[in-house]
Structure 1
């Protein structure tokens, strides 16, 4: 969700991309190291360049295309509705990215704690590890139960996907709900005014 949400509304009626530049990708990765990007996947020095930016954006394109498939028959996010990667190409791209890193599950079970599973990597390049980790996370999400609750927010100017947390939720956040209600009210009052104008003539 965090990778997909790097495309978002800019506040002025347009769409902005947090991964548009190498500097933007560097900032995004640094802010998420230890969380979305586990530290064990980034051992060694990670140099973000245009090649790595392209790989991360490629995974994001594939995931956004598969998110669009997941929310179908409802419409996808308006951010890229006319330029989505075909679903079969998106599947191939995501699986290839996930397969770039060979990993094996390892069980850690401290004497005074619960067992924990971790992945042991055979890959030394932190760039490969990062791209593969992002792809595997998307595979886990899309094959898991949360996929059924995935929605595209269609409030005015919003381009986000979100996970529906309760039965009546229509928008990703309350501010989007407020904008949608204001827009609906405006459309109703404009339609009523137009009807009154037609009757007056």
Structure 2
């Protein structure tokens, strides 16, 4: 069965973007960006919500040749990586993406059962729709030293606790990574 990882930059008060939807407070330095590139290479399929897909699709396919090597590397990785985009409003997707407009929970269950690699989920709304169904196997939080005071929370309100086991911590100059496995 495929493993599903929820990876996100998060503020100290638990938000993945600020009240205006901005993530400019979470811009990675070179070391962290390289870490994300290396991690992304290991991902078999990337699951995107509409907002994240639109954000990524507006930027990464158009990274100029003058961009850093790390940015050009990620641009190539992102455009080539198989992606499943969940949206009820988009009518088409590009860059090795497949659009799903039906039940995200059922599609993710099918994708998990259909292989033995690793998938990641990107987009807080998509991830929070999967969390209550127990579909996330691992949480990777990149904790930034900022308090936003509002925005999109990383986790939805839940009826039950989610038991986790700390599997790894890693300190970068700009964030601390906390990697948790579900138990």
TM-score norm. by structure 1 comes to 0.30
Higher strand share: 2
The structure with the larger Rg is 1
Higher helix content, 1 or 2:
1
TM-score after normalising by structure 2: 0.32
